[in-house]
Structures are given as structure tokens and as C-alpha cells.
Chains A and B, each alone.
Chain A
Amino acid sequence: MNTKILRNLAFTIFTCYATAAVSETPHWSHDEQSTWWAIQDATQNVPLNYPFGACGIGKHQSPIDLASATINDTKPLNKLAALYDTDTTPTFFNSGHGVQVNTSENYAGALMIGEESFPLIQFHFHEPSEHVVEGKNFPAELHYVHINEDGRIIVLAVAVDIGEENPIFGTILDNTPHEERSKNVSAGIQINPAQLLPADLNPANLDYYTLAGSLTTPPCSEGVQWYLLPKVITVSAAQLEQLKGFYTSNARVAQDLNGRSLLSTH
């Protein structure tokens, strides 16, 4: 009887340890992005002990310098529609690397690419922008992250400039906790992600640039399709300072194109 209890206890401890080892990723920061690929996970064996290897050896990495890419607007492309509605229970998340809003589990908002639907999972901000034009950053960049049923990742990116105050951006900043890895499940605060899109674009038929890329943070997984809006949104200088109060310089530098071109609808 005692042996059985001890065996069950040992199995439980092992299971807990193994689960923790698999689910936790090694610590990383934007300051050390040139060596993300070399960060080791001591709990894994070769080659899994280099979980961020794609950051160094990947050939379709993001972000890029948009001015260095050839723009091809001769190919017919799918219609792009951001069908975001109001999320009544979003989660404001300080991810430890940026300001992020997670949509609720039952949120129906999605990005439509042609006839395919990609549910919006979260959106977050980088300061300064990750995509650059002739080496020059915008003050910030917004990424809408979508993942569909078979795990394909689509990111819709919007550059952020200094200008008029942005009310919904203010609401997000005011409700994001300052403590790293903390979440604030909104108490009655509703967010419509569509309100962050450029006002003079039609959400139901967006112009865009698109190219194949990767996650811009470890593990830098490739197979991510990027859609970049041709218009920028604005936040006030004070709001940008408020964003910097959370994180600053949380942007990856531009990566090599390796033969990729930008496809464009316009």
C-alpha cells in the first residue's frame, strides 16, 4: 500500500516537472537579440536545446526594411477584411516584453483573407516600430495576431506616428498593469480593435502589402504571413511617453530579405 502511494507521488512529481520544463521557454530580452539563436534550454537535448535557432538561421525572418523590397502590384490578391467587433471581456496583459490585449475566448472578431477566416487572438505594441523605411523607424507599431483552426499565423501590422490623441490607445494603456507578466481581466471595459485601424481605410476591403515572414520575437517561427497597412495611425506625444513607461526599444531590427518581395494591392 505504502509502495503504491510512493509510486503515485513520484509519478505526480515527475509529471509536474516535465510539464513545467516543456511549457516554460528560456528567458530572453530585446537587448540581446543578436544572440537569441544561441540561447540554450538546458532541459532539452540536441537540437531542441536551441529553441530559438530560427532567429539566427531562418531565411524568411521579420521585420524588414520596406524600402529595400521590390513592390509587385501586378498579381491579383485576395480581398482583406478586418471584421473586428467589440470584445466585452478583453484581458490587458503586461507580457514582460510589451503592452498586449488578449481577446476573450468567445470573441468572434477575425481577419478575412478571401474566404478564409483567421480569429483575432491578441494585439500588442512595439516601440519604436519594427518595420522600417530606408532604415528609419516609426515611433511605434501595432500588431494584430490571428491564428486559424489549423494553426496558421497571420499578423496585420499598422505603423504608429505622433499626431492626434488616440482614445482607445489611452484606454488600453490606462488598464494595462505595470507589473511584468500581470493580467487585468477588464471589469466592464469593452474594446473594439477596429477602432485602432486607420480611419480613412475601409475595414471591409483593406489595401495592403504582404510578404512571408516570421514571429519577430523568440522563437522567431517562420510560416507567418504578414499584412501591412499602407496608412498609419496616430497617438499623441504624451501617449507615446506613456507607452515608453512600460517598455522602450522592444523592437527587433530589420532582417535580410533573402529574395522576398512585397506583394501589393495598390
Chain B
Amino acid sequence: MLIKLFLAVSLSVSVASCFAESDGNKSKLLIDPSQQKRLSTDGSQQKQSLQPNASTENTDSQSSQNSNQGNKPSMIEYCRNHPC
């Protein structure tokens, strides 16, 4: 009986330490979930309603990318000599 009890306790301790170690290896989060302002993610309707906005964002992104074109040599050289 005592042997069974000892084995049960040993197993519990080893499992607990295993979980504790895996937690210890995890890095801290940049933004804690309690500090995040999330857009509601429930349902496909929400996703569909976001599509027009999403395409607008793509257009904005593309235009900003285009405005940056043509500065390759100067920007690489600049960013090697300044923090950027």
C-alpha cells in the first residue's frame, strides 16, 4: 500500500515539475491579453464586413510602398550610417 502511495506521489510530482518547466521556457508576452483591444471575431459575417476595409488597407499599403520606390541605394547607405 505504502509503495503504491509513494509511486502515486512520485508520479504527481514529476508531472507537475514537467509542466512547471515548460511554462518556464515560455517568453513573456508583448501585449497582455487583458490589455488588448480585440476586434470581435465571432462569425463569418464579421469577416465579410471587414473585407471592404481590408481592401482599402491594401490600397493604402500599396500606395505607401510605391512612394518608397526608387530610393534603394540611398536608403541602404543611409540606414548603414544612421539608426533608421
B81-A95 in contact (CB<8A): yes
CA distance A70 to B31 in the complex (A): 12
CA distance A71 to B32 in the complex (A): 12
A230-B84 in contact (CB<8A): no
CA distance A263 to B58 in the complex (A): 12
- In B67-84, the 8 Å CB interface with A consists of 67-72, 75-76, 79-84
Which secondary structure dominates where chain B touches chain A? Answer: mixed
- In B1-56, the 8 Å CB interface with A consists of 25-32, 35-39, 41, 46-47, 50, 54
Asked whether A199 and B80 contact (CB < 8 A) given A70-B37, A151-B68, A151-B71, the answer is no
* Number of interface residues, chain A, beta carbon within 8 A: 58
B37-A67 in contact (CB<8A): yes
- Determine if A235 is an interface residue (Cβ-Cβ < 8 Å): no
**Hey, which chain B residues are within 8 Å of A215, CB to CB?**
84
- In A191-236, the 8 Å CB interface with B consists of 198-201, 209, 212, 215-217, 221-223, 225, 228-234
A74-B39 in contact (CB<8A): yes
- Closest chain-B Cβ to A90's Cβ sits at a distance in Å of 11
B27-A74 in contact (CB<8A): no
B75-A147 in contact (CB<8A): yes
B30-A229 in contact (CB<8A): yes
**Hey, which chain A residues are within 8 Å of B71, CB to CB?**
151
- Closest chain-A Cβ to B71's Cβ sits at a distance in Å of 4
